[in-house]
Copies of this chain bind each other. A is one copy, B any other.
Amino acid sequence: MNNDLVEQIMGEVMRKMDSEAASAPAQPAAPEAKSCAAKLPAACGLTEFVGTAIGHTIGLVIANVDSSLHEQMKIDKKYRSIGILGARTGAGPHIFAADEAVKATNSEIILIELPRDTEGGAGHGSLILFGAEDVSDARRAVEVALSEVERTFGDVYGNSAGHLEFQYTARASTALNKAFGAPLGQSFGITVGGPAAIGVLLADTAAKAATVDAVGYSSPGNGGTSFSNEVIFTFSGDSGAVRQAIVAAREVGKQVLKAMEPDEDLPSSTTPYI
């Protein structure tokens, strides 16, 4: 009887411990995967609030930017309204999402900045401003971007050693042009690896796997990564070639990052799309 009792109690204790573990914050070292706040469009009564998304992403809008602030921000006077897309974790996913947003709406990209962040991870957060003459256009741009972020996190993979990121578009627009110098209207892809050593290998693998045109290479010290522990390689070319380069780099990257933490999984942050 005592043993039954012990089992009964252990069962209760373990259930309690499991439920506490389940509600605990995810590990800081797998930043891409942890901040999965669902979109909560109605969680905030402010008219400026648009929504949230994975990666501690927030979308806001200002209908009529204060004129003294407008000046301090050095924004073109024609944009009375701005949409704001910001995140603690992820720059690539947000820039590719913003690219879809400017294609789909009557808005333009004012500014793309990459803070050093990821909540203890190796990479970036982001701050992206959309400009519009009408607030409804700015709001719509943020809404589109927030909904795209779920997809663009699909090829972001992380464990406690670092992260991998792959992005692809069949047709680059002005967000990708502004952030990475992507040729407008062309297929465009990026490989990102952190720690930066892995990013170097991803770049070489992508460059060799298909006939692509190298557009840029950002390393921690060359000005392109805000001192984040990443290497970003960007390239354009034939649509099939860009995808082929990414798929090859993704295969190699997973093996190497997995080798740094063999006992951990290396999950997609959402669902792979490339």
Seen from chain A, the residues whose Cβ lies within 8 Å of a Cβ on chain B are: 2, 5-6, 8-10, 12-14, 16-17, 20, 25, 27-29, 35, 37, 40, 43-46, 48-49, 52, 56, 58-60, 62, 65-66, 68-69, 71-73, 82, 84-88, 111, 113-117, 119-122, 125, 127, 129, 160-162, 194-198, 200-201, 203-204, 207-208, 213-214, 216-217, 219-222, 225-231, 233, 252, 255-256, 258-262
B contact residues around A207 at 8 Å (CB) = 66, 68-69
Asked if B255 and A84 sit within 8 Å, CB to CB, the answer is no
6 A-B pairs (CB sep. < 8 Å): A13-B16, A56-B160, A68-B214, A87-B195, A115-B220, A127-B200
A14 to B12, alpha carbons, bound, how many Å?
A: 11
Once A6-B12, A46-B252, A196-B115 are accepted as A-B contacts, the answer to whether A71 and B214 lie under 8 Å apart by CB is yes
Is the pair A160, B13 in contact by a Cβ cutoff of 8 Å? no
Given contacts A115-B220, A116-B227, contact A256 B162 (CB under 8 A): no
Contact B226 A220 (CB under 8 A): yes
